Amino acid sequence: MQRSSQEFSRGHISAKEMDETVAEFFKRTILKIPMAEMMTILKAWDFLSENQLQTVNFRQRKESLVQDLVLLCEKKRASLNDAAILDIVYTQFHRHQKVWDVFRMSREPGEDIDLFDMEQFKRSFKKILQRALKNVTISFRDAEENAVWIRIAWGSQYRKPNQYRPVYVVYYSQTPYAFTSSSQLRSNIPLLGQALTIASKHHQIMKMDLRSRYLDSLKAIVFKQYNQTFETHNSTTPLHERSLGLDINMDSRIIHENRIEKERVQRVTQETFGYYPQPRLEFAQYKLETKFKSDLNGGILAEREEPLRCLIKFSSPHLLEALKALAPAGIADAPLSPLLTCIPNKGMNYFKIRDK
C-alpha cells in the first residue's frame, strides 16, 4: 500500500485526487458489505444520491461493483470521515460481530441539571482525545433515541491511525451508561473512559462485569427495559395462562404422575423469570476462590487450607432462556441458584466468588 508523500493526521484530502490510503479504506469497507445488503447500507449512508446509485450496475461481479462505487466516491470528493461513517453504518447493521462491554459513569450528588448538548459533547470528546493523541480519527453518527455512535481509530505518536482496528462507543444522552466494542488495544481504554466522562459531565467511570455480542440486550439489561408487562385494569392478556409446555389436559389417556411437583416447578420458574422474553447473553462466568466443602470424609480436595481456584463458564446461544428451561426439563432443581438468576437484575455475567 503506497503512502502518499504528505502525512495526514486528520484525514484531509488533497484537492486533486483521493489519497490512496483512503481509497483503499473505501474499497475494503465496501467489500465487507454482503451483496444482499449493499443497496440498504449505501442508502443508509446517504452520501451517494439516488441518481448516482442508479448509474451503477448492481448485478455485476462484486469486485467490479466495488471499483465503480469507489470511483463514484472519488468523483464526489469523499473524505476519510465519509469512509468512517460508512464503516459505522456497516457496524450498526452487523453489531453482533463485535463483543460489547458496558461502562457506568457517576457524578457527585447535588449537581446541576444535566443540560446535555450533543454538539458540545462531540466537540469536547474530540478535543480531549486529540490533545492526548496526535494521531486519532474520530467520527460520529447520530442514532435513534438520542444516542450517538462514535468510531475511534487509534494511532500513536509516530504512526497514522489504524483504520482497520477501530473501537466503537454507543452513548445514550443523559444516561450513565456507555457501550464499547471490545478492543485488543487495551492501552487506550483509560483515555477513552476519561474523554467520555468529562465530555458527558460525569466524574467517575467504571467497567461493569457485563459483556455480550447483543448490544440491544445489554441496553435492555442496564436500562431495565426487559420486564415490561405490567398489571393494569386495561390489560386483556391473562398473565397466568402461559405454560412451559406442560399441557395437562392434552390427552386423557396420559396421566401425569408428578403433576403437583411439576406445577410447583412451573410456578417457581415463572416467578423467577417472569413472562417476558429474556435478554440475550451468550455466557456467564464464575471465578471461584473458595475453600472446598465436602460431606464425604477424606478425598484429595477435603481439608485443604488454601481456597480452590476454579473457573466455571456456562455458554449458550441464549443463556437466560436456557437457564429458564432447566427446571421444567428436570435437569435442575427449582428454585435455581441465585447466582444464576440474579444475572439480569444485577447486570452482571462475570462473577468472582470468595469465601466471606
Minimum CB separation of residue 17 from other proteins in Å reads 31
Binding window for other proteins (CB under 8 A); candidates: 9-17, 125-133, 169-177, 181-189: 169-177
Binding window for other proteins (CB under 8 A); candidates: 64-72, 83-91, 217-225, 306-314: 217-225
Q: Please state the φ and ψ torsions of residue 74, each to the nearest 5 degrees.
A: -60, -45
67 binds other proteins, rule: CB under 8 A = no
Minimum CB separation of residue 246 from other proteins in Å reads 22
Minimum CB separation of residue 338 from other proteins in Å reads 16
Residue 145 or 257 with smaller CB distance to other proteins: 145
Minimum CB separation of residue 228 from other proteins in Å reads 6
Minimum CB separation of residue 215 from other proteins in Å reads 16
User: 225-264: which residues touch other proteins (CB under 8 A)?
Assistant: 225, 227-228, 230-234
Binding window for other proteins (CB under 8 A); candidates: 95-103, 218-226, 249-257, 286-294: 218-226
x/- mask, other proteins, residues 101-140, rule CB under 8 A, reads --------x---xxxxxxx---------------------
305 binds other proteins, rule: CB under 8 A = no
224 binds other proteins, rule: CB under 8 A = yes
292 binds other proteins, rule: CB under 8 A = no
Q: State the residue for C-alpha cell 484429595.
A: 300
CB 79 within 8 A of CB 11: yes
Interacting residue with other proteins among 55, 60, 146, 290 (CB under 8 A): 146
Interacting residue with other proteins among 54, 60, 64, 174 (CB under 8 A): 174
Binding site for other proteins (CB under 8 A): 109, 113-119, 145-146, 172-175, 177, 222-225, 227-228, 230-234
